[in-house]
Amino acid sequence: MSASDSPVSNDLFNRALKLIPGGVNSPVRAFRSVGGTPFFTQSAKGARLTTADGRELIDYVCTWGPAIHGHNHPAIREAVAEALERGTSFGTPNPYEVEMAELIVDMVPSVEKVRMVNSGTEATMSAIRLARGATGRDKIIKFAGCYHGHVDSLLVKAGSGALTLGNPDSAGIPASFAGETIVLPYNDLGALQLAFSEHPEKIAGVIIEPYPANCGLILPQTGYLEALRELCTRHGTVLIFDEVMTGFRIAPGGVQEKTGVTPDLTCLGKIIGGGLPVGAFGGRADLMDHLAPLGPVYQAGTLSGNPLAMAAGITALKLLREGDPYKRLESSAKQLAIALKLAAANLGVALQVPQAGSMFGLYFADKPVTNFDEALASRTELFKPLFQCALDLGVYLPPSAYEACFVSTAHTVNDIARTAEVLTSAIKQISES
Ligand code: PMP
């Protein structure tokens, strides 16, 4: 999309640049790594965004994951409208919170009790505090390339925007905060065993994206998550699955349902809000009972359990439980992955397209990517022309080589077929340049 055909977006961006740092409220939206001016969205429906300049785009960002039912789903809109009639926030417990908790406990294997928060960041921040409070230990293990929101002690070798912008360690974080964080390579069992043996009885928790999806999409090698589970159990360490991205997307119960590996705590977000701001963390009841008001670990939120957000999220989860769209979602993502791989193979472009359920990633690399270093070594400079070509042809991919693409139930057979054509053209363009 050239600057000349987006005058409204360009004008909005120029105004925003004067008022909002970088013109955006979350960094990757600024299109820094793909170039050009970001478009502004006027409205969204189903699989499509309509830009402020009236262009329609088939969307594979899906508001960074939450829109698994597509944008502005009628049932979610109705549920929010109905809740709105009763008020926007009460500051007391409300019936929706109980229904939401029942749904999460029913759907996510590890969760016996759950606390609602307002974002994924709050969920991970609270989960690691709980792991520390419950064990009386300080150290946390995280994995290079995994992003857990912008929690101080977890913004170390993080993925997502921190990676896209090339400053994996944020300024403003005292070394002592990050000093309790041990960063290990994903898929490296030896490194994990060594960390546990070097810090006996010091590791409060291990936090992991079980399928890391903030540095592309990486899948666990056979037995890796099972071995991690076993090590945590043996060392009295709390295993935290950050399923903010994968929860309800890979399966109703996330990666833990798919793999049968059950963590002690789980962080959730995105889909559970149905497009409104929500996060949650939950897990074993004995651990969760360390939280205030029952226990000494403090955690709170003025708007936590907000009735509008709960109404949206409850509807989103019920649609998943009752509609069981997972086979169809996976088949759409698979079709796109196959089209991409075929185009790349035919044109001699080295491309990996890891896919799990309705998510897929893109790496310009000649063999499957198994960890963060390999993701960094891929030819990310080729993503920029791919992104721009797809956008010109009406397909919106995440504006960073390191973000996963999402398919929703609103993507029709025709949308997928058209996207496969567009991506094939984009690969062709790359191969010719
Ligand atoms: N954890 C994971 C795995 C995520 O992907 C994200 C956001 N992309 C977060 C945590 C943070 O969530 P939020 O942006 O809602 O704070």
Distance 98 CA to ligand 1 centre (A): 24
Instruction: For residue 244, report the distance from its CA to the centre of ligand 1, in Å.
Output: 6
Ligand 1 atom having least distance to the Cα of 26 = 14
Q: 13-38 pLDDT, tens per residue?
A: 999 999 999 999 999 999 999 999 99
- What confidence tens digit (pLDDT) does each residue in 349-376 have? 999 999 999 999 999 999 999 999 999 9
**71 three-class SS:** strand
Residues recognised as catalytic: 147, 242, 270
Task: Identify whether residues 93 and 6 lie together within a single domain.
Answer: no
Q: Which residue has the tokens 């994951």?
A: 65
Q: Which residue has the tokens 């994903």?
A: 186
Judge whether residue 279 has pLDDT over 60: yes
Total structural domains within the chain: 2
What phi and psi, each to the nearest 5 degrees, are found at residue 20?
Answer: -120, 130
Q: Which pLDDT value is given to residue 182?
A: 93
Q: Which of 28, 214, 405 best tests ligand 1's pocket when mutated (most atoms within 8 Å of CB)?
A: 214
In the chain, % helix, strand, coil (3-state, to 5) comes to 45, 15, 40
For residues 8 and 53, the answer to whether their CB atoms sit within 8 Å is yes
Ligand 1 atom closest to residue 209's alpha carbon, by position in its atom list: 3
The domain that holds 157 is classified in CATH as: 3.40.640.10
Q: Are residues 140 and 267 in the same domain?
A: yes
Are 146 and 227 contained in the same domain?
yes
Query: For residue 213, what are the contacts with CB-CB under 8 A and spacing of at least 6?
Result: 245, 246, 359, 361, 404
Rounded Cα distance between 412 and 319, Å, is 17
User: Cα separation of 300 and 229, whole Å?
Assistant: 29
CA of 151 to the centre of ligand 1 (A): 10
Q: How many CB atoms lie within 10 A of CB 106?
A: 12
Q: For residue 99, what are its two tokens?
A: 């229904």
Q: How far apart are CA 334 and CA 337, in angstroms?
A: 5
- The model's pLDDT over 174-228, given as tens digits with 9 standing for 90+, comes to 888 888 999 999 999 999 999 999 999 999 999 999 999 999 999 999 999 999 9
Which residues are near ligand 1 (CB < 6 Å)?
A: 64, 119-121, 124, 147-149, 160, 209, 214, 242, 244-245, 269, 279
169 lies in the same domain as 100:
yes
* Nearest-angstrom CA–CA distance, 52 and 59: 15
Domain boundary residue, one of 60, 83, 110: 60
| Residues 332-341, mean pLDDT to the nearest whole number | 97
Say yes or no: 191 and 161 in one domain: yes
Burial 37-52 (b: 16+ CB within 10 A, else e): bbbbbeebebbbbbbb
Q: What is the ipTM of this complex?
A: 0.99
Query: Are 195 and 81 part of one and the same domain?
Result: yes
Spatial contact of 279 and 118, defined as CB atoms under 8 Å apart: yes
Q: What residues have CB less than 8 Å from 381, skipping those under 6 apart?
A: none
Residue 169 CA to ligand 1 centre (angstroms): 16
Residues sharing a CB contact under 8 Å with residue 427, sequence separation 6 or more, in sequence order: 340, 343, 344, 347, 349, 351, 386
53 and 102 part of one domain: no
The minimum-distance atom of ligand 1 relative to the CA of 160 is 8
Tokens (6 digits) for 388: 């721009």
**Confidence category of residue 66, pLDDT binned at 50, 70, 90:** very high
Whether 263 and 165 map to the same domain: the answer is: yes
CA distances from 407 to 218, 219, 303 (A): 17, 18, 30
Name the DSSP letter for residue 323: H
Mean pLDDT for the stretch of residues 283-293: 98
Domain end (from 268, 292, 323): 323
Q: Chain centroid to CA 402: how far? A: 11
